[in-house]
Amino acid sequence: MELLAVVCLCLLTWSGTTFAAGNGPDVIKMVVKEGDDAILPCSLSTRENIVQKLFDWKRDGQKEVFLYDAGVTYGKDHPGQDEQFKQRVFHFPDQLPFGDASIVIRNTKVTDSGNYTCDFPRLQPRRRGLIELVVDPVLKDRTEENIPGAAPAPVTKILKVTEDGVVLQCEVRGASPKPDVKWQDSDGNVLRAEEPQVSERGGLYYVSLLTTVTKTSTNLFHCVSTQKDIGHRTEEEIYVPERLLEDKSCHEAPMFIGGVFTGIVIVAAVLSVLAAIYITIRRNKGEFK
């Protein structure tokens, strides 16, 4: 009984911290190259299921970018989306169960630049995310470098927020010889990454490398591209806002609590079996007396 009380108390504490977090109105700044896709991150720190919820993305407080209402999005049956965003904005249906309301704007234009808000108007307390997006036409010129074949600086971006952490993408576009691309934390430790995606066009290599990061002391991550043969090294740093990385410990909590409950159930089961055996033995003894 005491154990149960302790577990309940812990549960309360956990949900307390989980709900308190994530109200910070800090702005996430993002810069993308014109023509690239922009993923605007927005997640509830509680990671509660939002499949049946409503969330609303607006730009500069007025333009309707995207709306999700329990399965329904803008379209034939739900007019109101701004012309500019029609057929270009999508959400991530498989991430909804984890409180992830992020959207992707495909093929960005300079005119997409602005301040985006992600709003859950019906949730108590009401929660909002703010993202400043800058679509830069000049970033295009990065692929042209002075040394022939030398890799341009990698392009890093936040791809999405998942259960396990924030997925970062690093792209090196147009390099020869083939560059070696790595993700590192701010102490220079090489981070575990997925298998790099490499393609070749016109003798130039295009490399894309994904890694999933969790909170560190700086929340700064580096993508480093090296071409040993020509002694060329470039790198790009990316800062992941605290808000996207927080609550990883709380996210572990349900599993842990699950573990505790499973433990209790097992202990209870073992105890009842022992009790049953004990009683049976007693009874048998009684019979044989």
Ligand X SMILES: *[C@@H]1O[C@H](CO)[C@@H](O)[C@H](O)[C@H]1NC(C)=O
Residues that bind ligand X (CB under 6 A): 113-115, 132, 134
CA angle 86, 159, 75 (to 5 degrees): 20
What are 29's two structure tokens? 């700044």
**What single DSSP character describes residue 26?**
P
- The nearest distance, CB 226 to ligand X, in angstroms, is 34
Q: Which is nearer to ligand X, 7 or 134 (CB)?
A: 134
Q: In this structure, are residues 43 and 100 in contact, taking their beta carbons and an 8 Å threshold?
A: yes
- The nearest distance, CB 157 to ligand X, in angstroms, is 17
Cα 236 from Cα 191, distance rounded (Å): 15
Task: Spell out the alpha helix ranges (H) of the chain.
Answer: 2-20, 242-245, 248-288
Q: Which is nearer to ligand X, 117 or 186 (CB)?
A: 117
- The nearest distance, CB 201 to ligand X, in angstroms, is 32
Name the helix (H) or strand (E) containing 59: strand 54-59
β 89-91/72-73 pair status: unpaired
- The nearest distance, CB 117 to ligand X, in angstroms, is 11
Q: Give the residue at shortest CB distance from ligand X.
A: 115
Q: Which is nearer to ligand X, 133 or 170 (CB)?
A: 133
User: How many C-beta neighbours within 10 Å does residue 242 have?
Assistant: 12
Q: Which is nearer to ligand X, 69 or 136 (CB)?
A: 136
Q: Which is nearer to ligand X, 113 or 219 (CB)?
A: 113
- The nearest distance, CB 25 to ligand X, in angstroms, is 12
